[in-house]
Structures are given as C-alpha cells and as structure tokens.
Amino acid sequence: MSPPTDDHTDSRSTTDLSRRAFSRKAVAAGGSGALAACLENSDRTSVNAPEGVSDPESLPDRQHAWNDVLKTDDAGNVVPPAHHVFLSLSLSSGSDPVAGARGTVRAALRAVERALEWSGDGLVFTLGYTPAYFDRFEAELDAAVDLPNPDPITVLAAASDVTVDTNDALLHLASDDPAVVLAAEETLFGEREQLNGHSPSASLGGVFERRGRRTGFVGPGLPAERQHGLDGIPESEPVPEEAPFFMGFRAGFRESQATEDRVTIRDGPFAGGSTQHFETLELDLEVWFEESDHEQRVARLFSPDHAERNAVGEYGERLGRDPGVAATVDDAHDDARERGVVGHAQKVARAREDGDPVLLRRDVNTTDGDTCGLHFVCLQRDMSEFVRAREAMVGDDFRQYGLGPRGSNGILQYLRLRRWGSYLVPPRSRRALPRPDPGA
C-alpha cells in the first residue's frame, strides 16, 4: 500500500478524499506495513499523539467512560472516533486466568494509558469478557451481572447462519488517528517496542491469541468514499458525502442514546462496569437504494411520520440532537396497519424505560471481507435490555399486518446477521482477567 501524496493542488477535497481513503484502508489492512505507511505519510517515525497519564488509576473507573473525552457536534451529539479495531481474543494454552497472567494484562493496558491520552485524539478502548470465559471457573458469575448468552436464533425468531463468539474476550480500540489504533494494537501484542515515546514493559501477546480481527470506520465522508467500486452498492454511488453511515443517514442522536450512567452496573463487585453486545450485519444496499426512494427509506429507518413531514432532511441534518422517535411509538401499529410500513427507530424506541433509551450504541461501518456491513456495538446495564430492544426490532407483532421480515418492517430486509457476541466490560480496576466472583 502506498500512502497518498500531499502534492494535490487541484482541490482540497481531492486531498481529503485520498487521506480518508488511505486511513481507512490502512486500519482495515492492519500489520506493521500499514502502520509504517501511515507514519511515513506524516513523515514521522512514531505516532505523535497527546500523551497519557502518569497514574492510570486517575482515569475513570468505567472503561466505557468515553463521552466526556470525545468531541461533540454543534447540536451536542457525541462524535464517535473515526477508526476502530475489534480483536477477538482467546487465552493462550497454558495461560491460567488466576495466575501471573493477570498482572501481565494489567501492566500491558496501563502502559497504553501512560503512552496515549484517553481521548479521540489519543485512544479509548474497552476489554470485555464472554460468558465462555467465565465458564472456565467453577464459581458462578456474580448475581448482580446479567450476562446470559442470548441465542440469536431465539431472539431473531429465524434460522440464520450466525457465528456466536465463544472466544474469551473482545478488545475494542478506537481513535481518530488511524496510526494510533494500529500502533496500540501492535504494541499491545509485542510487535512494536515504542508507543508514543514510551516503552511498555508488558504485552498481551503471551496471554491472549488473536482469533479474529475486525475493523470499522464512521464519520461523514468515509462511507461515501468507500462506496466507489464496492460490491453490493449501486454504481450510482448513492451514499451522500455527509452521511456517517452506509445507509445514508446520521444515527446516534443524543436523545435516542442511553447515558453512560444508565448503562452502568450499579451493584456488586462489577459496579462501574457494563454489558456489551457486538453483532456484525451485512447490508444489502443495492435493494435499499434501488428499490425504495428517499421518502420510503426515511419511513423505514425512522417512521412514516418523519417521511411525511420531511423531518429528516437528506441525511439527518434536520434532526439536531433529538430524532423525535419517542413521539411515533404510539402510532406504530396504526402505521403498520394503515400505511403498510413501520420504522426501525419507531419500533426499537418501544424498548425504552420510562421514556428513556436503555442502549448506548457505538456502531461502525465495515468493509471487512470486502462486504459492506455494520458492526453493531451497544452497551446496556443488563443483557436482557438488549434482548428486549432486539426483539422490538424484529417486530413479530407487525406480522399480523403482513409486515414480515421481508416486508416494510423497518430495515430487517436489508440486513443479514453474521456474527454475534455478549460481553461483560468490567470496571477498569477489574478488567484484567477477572474472576467471576471477585472478592468472594
């Protein structure tokens, strides 16, 4: 891969486009070659990110405390980091979660926090553990944690070719700087000695094996740039330049997101932690863009009322910080019966509690395997809250109006579920190979 040159003089947008394309490709490719190319591009030998803290214990106990250090847009919506890597980790044979490995994991993660600022310019990350990891122990997972392993087939009420994550852990790394994500990954696995001028003394490499590497990106311009020549997207390249997601609209508006407080576990040894769901969805954008017009797409993604009032704009620019989906919930059945369509957001907003969202979504676009998709990531206090929202999205109760999964039942017909996992994201103080019953 060769880095883009900085010698474009024709237009600034051409330069921006090539930089964006290059960054996204580098993160997707991974490895020292991609990192070297990124660094060379900026004429540096090391990443040049803001430095971390001398005392990692001064960071918030919540690993998922990202919002306060991320940028916000003019309307106050949190702007997610642009580049993401998700590593599926399995304990190396011989690695005993109760032995010295715990100290190694703690040291490796703290070294990253000393080297890189906890922010979008630096790095934010979470390390979560699967039910399979906790099954290694004789003790039961603390009763205050709701981490069943929801079966996708049961939740979706449909047969599907889905891989359930039975590895031990998922490491989610995110930064606005592609070189930072890559350098952190390399350093954490002992393939690089220096990180932002620091020399970590420990790596995860001897404790975990990387079983899967997935990547994502989000932000205006990135999906539009990636649509060029991508299989599954119409040649007309319909994704608007400003849209942060492939389906052509903004998402993650402040009033439709749970707060970090709302998704935080309150009691027990894992208080301060959260549960996380990760699923990979393949997108059928050819059908999405070619068999429906803008108004129909708004109706299916938001609600028919949004479409009728032209409330969304081209890509969501009219919505500010509140997409106004709560007000459409009561009409969901009437809309399905009388207008023959019910919106995705309209349906899932039925899973709110006392009017407030219970899921904090941090999903990103992906082109892993050259397939256009979405890594849907969300945090919630209890996994059962995710299951409730996912069942609301399936919307079985709309079948009575003829709206099955292949009908105008939200966006179901454009999605194919491929991968699915649940995790406990412990508080920072317990994130290194936790026992299921710490302190017991």
Residues in contact with ligand HEM by the rule CB under 6 A: 245, 247, 249, 251-253, 256, 281, 283, 301, 323, 325, 344-345, 348-349, 352, 357, 359, 361, 374, 376, 389-390, 393, 415
Cα–Cα distance between 356 and 58 in angstroms, integer? 30
Give the nearest distance from C-beta 374 to ligand HEM in angstroms: 4
Give the nearest distance from C-beta 297 to ligand HEM in angstroms: 10
Nearer to ligand HEM, 226 or 361 (CB): 361
Give the nearest distance from C-beta 219 to ligand HEM in angstroms: 15
Nearer to ligand HEM, 284 or 437 (CB): 284
Nearer to ligand HEM, 281 or 336 (CB): 281
Tokens encoding 8: 């474009």
Q: How many CB atoms lie within 10 A of CB 418?
A: 17
Give the nearest distance from C-beta 357 to ligand HEM in angstroms: 4
Cα–Cα distance between 233 and 5 in angstroms, integer? 28
Nearer to ligand HEM, 49 or 415 (CB): 415
Element (H, E) at 88: strand 83-91
State residue 60 phi and psi, 5-degree precision: -60, 145
Q: β-strands 364-366, 360-361: how paired?
A: unpaired
Of 344, 413, 370, 410, which Cα lies nearest the Cα of 233?
370
Cα–Cα distance between 37 and 199 in angstroms, integer? 21
Cβ proximity of 128 and 207 under 8 Å:
no
Cα–Cα distance between 86 and 114 in angstroms, integer? 21
Nearer to ligand HEM, 265 or 285 (CB): 285
Give the nearest distance from C-beta 325 to ligand HEM in angstroms: 4
Tokens encoding 162: 């889905």
Give the nearest distance from C-beta 255 to ligand HEM in angstroms: 7
Tokens encoding 365: 């676009």
Nearer to ligand HEM, 134 or 249 (CB): 249
Give the nearest distance from C-beta 343 to ligand HEM in angstroms: 9
Q: Decide: helix, strand or coil at residue 161.
A: coil
Nearer to ligand HEM, 246 or 401 (CB): 246
